[in-house]
Structure 1
Amino acid sequence: MNGSILVTGGAGFLGSHLCDALIARGNDVVAVDNFYTGSKDNLSGAIDSRRFELMRHDIWLPLFIEVDRIFNLACPASPIHYQNDPVATVKTSVLGAINMLGLAKRRKARILQASTSEVYGDPQIHPQPETYWGHVNPIGPRACYDEGKRCAETLFFDYHRQHNVDIRVMRIFNTYGPRMHPRDGRVVSNFIIQALNNEDITIYGDGSQTRSFCYVDDMIKGMLAFMDQDAHVGPLNVGNPHEITVRDLAETIIELTDSRSRIDFRDLPADDPLQRKPDIAQATETMNWQPTVGLHDGLQETIRYFRWLLG
């Protein structure tokens, strides 16, 4: 992968790790972010590199820049953030996709869309293969994100069919690791912070709902491998197929942090999926990718980060 690369959402959790990986490969990187959830602190390593530039910009506004490849990661990804301003979330997903696809068309650049497992909604098929169309509430409180990402996928494939834009559409399943936003409302960051503070760990529902968690290093390797290969445009599931209940996750984090926390059960939010597990057969076949970091090892690295963050 040569030339200059644009990373939208480059100051966010995944975006900052991607910028670091691209710089390490010798690429010139331009990161764009509006800093709604991203932070310059996430880019403390990249910012000193002569190969790196940072720009404050909302991608729902047009952007004219000379780049060869585009990673479109911009969009708040946790319910607490994307539900805080749902109209802005839809604008980022839909208008942002139109603007970035227009840029890719003008530049004849390959563009990767960071889509999401949320396009499957509360799935009725388990695990979820890429052929599954999903079970999504189009007017619910999560729809600004779920349907925004689904519409972005539509735009990507329409630009591909109509304008021959070189696309990659990647469906990202739950990812965790250092640089997660401490107040993003996700179970891993929530549980770790509550455990480190010896506070009650909040579980919504009875804790039997399942998730599959992929460590950030594995996710970035999958993203780069997908962008590099020429055989498949997607959509492609990338995530860890190891499934765990939310209650087991909480108990594991309590053990790893040596916490005195107890579990506090609350009502399940509307449209919260009960199962989430990727079928990654295509990723394995297409680019010989599988996650390698186990949950315990990844959680220990994440706990170390939050210990440092909390001081």
Structure 2
Amino acid sequence: MVSILITGGAGFIGSNTAFYLCSRGFKVSVIDSFERSSISFEELLGAGIRVFRGDVKDTSIISSILQGVDVVVHAAAYVDVAESMAKPLEYLNNNVIGTASVASVCFNRGVGLIYISSAAVYGDPIKLPIDEDHPTKPLSPYGLSKLLGEEVVKFYGGLGLRFTILRLFNVYGPRQNRSYAGVITRFIERVKAGLPPVIYGDGLQTRDFVHVVDVAKAVELAIEKKLPQQILNIASGKPVKIKDLAYMVIKLSGLDKEPIYTNPRPGDIKHSWGSIAKAEEQLNYKPSINLEEGLKNLYENWSF
């Protein structure tokens, strides 16, 4: 049985990946500080997952729980673009130092690493769709922190660390909470309160939404394929205008209101659309949940 440790395992992406891998027969452990968790310590334990409370910046904690672990999935991070603009040093400290801690311990212990990065590393695209060779020029401290994390991982890769970097586009799905403040979260919260969605900008900006279950499946494929030092986009491969997304959520709610438009937010990119050709070729990755299906399920099961 393959043993996996997920950092940030109580967060949105980490917890969904933990439950999915557990259901697929992996031995799963998670570590999380639980300061921004999407799920409780007890819920994880109840699913048969080993749970550790701790800060990934502490190398002694990571080292102490790596016995018998085959692969670490490093998902621990602060992830709010807007918050990162207000607290840049906090983001750089938490995300970059945390990644350096995990990568160094994995290297020293001979454990493989899957680093959960972000399409935020690209910044505003100069071509669409965005492939993995696209220049990186992040527009926010969050994007910068993920890019610096990649550089740390690649540094240790040069010393012999086995790694795969997954650049996730706009992830959504169950247990998405306020600390993972994506546009879908905000739109659903508004319509559940009887209020129209608020759009920053003209609504013509695009995003590539990928369901968290498809992300978890991509992680499983990366574990199985053991790709040597690869960077892969994980997306749906289909861009959606934010304005169209707002109307999809309004339709689900039955709300008879129009979206409200306000000023663009600093740090937000205009367009995002990921090429998944490399992931399709190297991982046999195929997104399985379309946006309409995923939104409907998320809206009907919303509990925040």
In 1: Cα distance, 2:98 partner to 2:179 partner = 24
Gaps in structure 1 of 5+ consecutive residues = none
Q: Pick from 219, 222, 229 the counterpart of residue 225 of structure 2.
A: 229
CA contact (8 A) 1:182 1:193 kept: no
Task: Give percent identity, aligned residues only.
Answer: 26
Counterpart code for 1:132 = H
Q: Pick from 93, 96, 110 the counterpart of residue 94 of structure 1.
A: 96
In 1: Cα distance, 2:162 partner to 2:39 partner = 30
Counterpart code for 1:120 = Y
In 1: Cα distance, 2:173 partner to 2:47 partner = 23
Instruction: State the match for 1:149 in structure 2.
Output: 146
Instruction: State the match for 1:264 in structure 2.
Output: 260
Instruction: State the match for 1:186 in structure 2.
Output: 182
Instruction: State the match for 1:20 in structure 2.
Output: 19
CA drift of 1:87 comes to 2.2
Q: Deviations over 1:17-46 (max 9, x none)?
A: 1111222233332211122321334x6653
Is the alpha carbon distance of 1:296 and 1:180 closer, same or farther for their aligned partners in structure 2, counting shifts above 3 Å?
same
Q: Using structure 2 for the length normalisation, give the TM-score.
A: 0.92
Which residues in structure 2 correspond to 1:24-173 (within 5 Å)?
24-41=23-40, 45-50=43-48, 52-62=49-59, 63-64=62-63, 65=65, 66=67, 67-83=69-85, 85-137=87-139, 142-143=140-141, 145-161=142-158, 163-173=159-169
In 2: Cα distance, 1:111 partner to 1:135 partner = 24
CA drift of 1:68 comes to 2.2
Secondary structure of 2:45's match?
A: helix
CA contact (8 A) 2:38 2:176 kept: no
Secondary structure of 1:101's match?
A: helix
Q: Deviations over 1:202-232 (max 9, x none)?
A: 0000100001111111111012112211344
In 2: Cα distance, 1:85 partner to 1:274 partner = 22
In 1: Cα distance, 2:156 partner to 2:276 partner = 26
In 1: Cα distance, 2:295 partner to 2:195 partner = 18
CA contact (8 A) 1:237 1:282 kept: yes
In 2: Cα distance, 1:71 partner to 1:250 partner = 33
Q: Deviations over 1:93-135 (max 9, x none)?
A: 2211211112111221110000000000112221111001223
Gaps in structure 2 of 5+ consecutive residues = none
Q: Using structure 1 for the length normalisation, give the TM-score.
A: 0.90
In 2: Cα distance, 1:249 partner to 1:26 partner = 35
Is the alpha carbon distance of 1:252 and 1:48 closer, same or farther for their aligned partners in structure 2, counting shifts above 3 Å?
same
CA drift of 1:81 comes to 4.4
CA contact (8 A) 1:117 1:173 kept: yes
In 1: Cα distance, 2:228 partner to 2:238 partner = 24
CA contact (8 A) 2:44 2:51 kept: no
Stretch deviating more after TM superposition (205-214 or 91-100): 91-100
In 2: Cα distance, 1:151 partner to 1:134 partner = 11
